[in-house]
Structure 1
């Protein structure tokens, strides 16, 4: 199972990932600043026809009341979508920041692994020199 993960990790173009991490974080910040500044659409209660009135509405008034109800429904749906967009942009910004931190840690780990490899190589060469001399 670990071999599969190693294969996947080897296939990732880490140079491109490291190079693009700041761009991703910056894009998420721009998205958040753009979305965060927008105010949600104003949802005003539509005037509903008085149920107690005994008057009958004409065809035009009935159509107008139906359209007004649809507009109110659409305004509510738009406000809900705007809220979801705000929450999504916060999540994207958080993920971009975590991605940047992950890339920084991976780069540090890569450098440490390289240093350990070189140290092991030098120690191995010294051991071979001692063994064969």
Structure 2
């Protein structure tokens, strides 16, 4: 199972991921700023026209429908705010994760160089 993950991780273009991480974070912040500035509910409503086979809706029924729609729009707006906050948080975590992966990659590379040098020194001493 670990071999499958290793092959997947080897195929990831880490340079591109690291390069694009700040752009992802900035995009998420822009989304959060854009969504956060929008009003919670829209006051505009379209009036439904009656079809020939149905009676015309009363004013009270239309007002109740508009009220329901406004509540639904407000709920959807709150969900959108929560979702965009989550996206911003995930983008920030992704940026931190990519930075840590890059540090670990450099450390593993340095460790590999040290191991190769030590293997060379050990090989020259033994032979």
- 2:14 aligned with 1:14: yes
Whether the 8 Å CA contact 2:40–2:77 is kept in 1: the answer is yes
- Answer with 1 or 2: which has the greater Rg: 1
1:90 has 2:85 as partner: yes
Cα deviations by residue, 1:64-109 (Å, 9 ceiling, x for unpaired): 2222111111101000000000000110000000000000000000
CA distance in 2, matches of 1:42, 1:123: 70
Q: Please, which runs of 5 or more residues in structure 1 have no aligned partner?
A: 44-58
Q: Unaligned stretches of 5+ in structure 2?
A: 44-54
Which whole-Å CA distance do the structure 1 matches of 2:73 and 2:13 have between them?
Answer: 40
Name the structure 2 match of 1:101: 96
Q: Which residue of the other structure, out of 72, 76, 79, is the alignment partner of 2:74?
A: 79
What's the CA shift for 1:124?
A: 0.5
Task: State the number of aligned residues.
Answer: 116
Separation of aligned partners in 1, 2:34 and 2:42:
18
- Tell me which residue corresponds to 2:51: none
Give the secondary structure class of the aligned counterpart of 2:59.
helix
Match of 1:120 in 2: 115
TM-score by length of 2: 0.85
> Is 1:28 the equivalent of 2:28?
yes
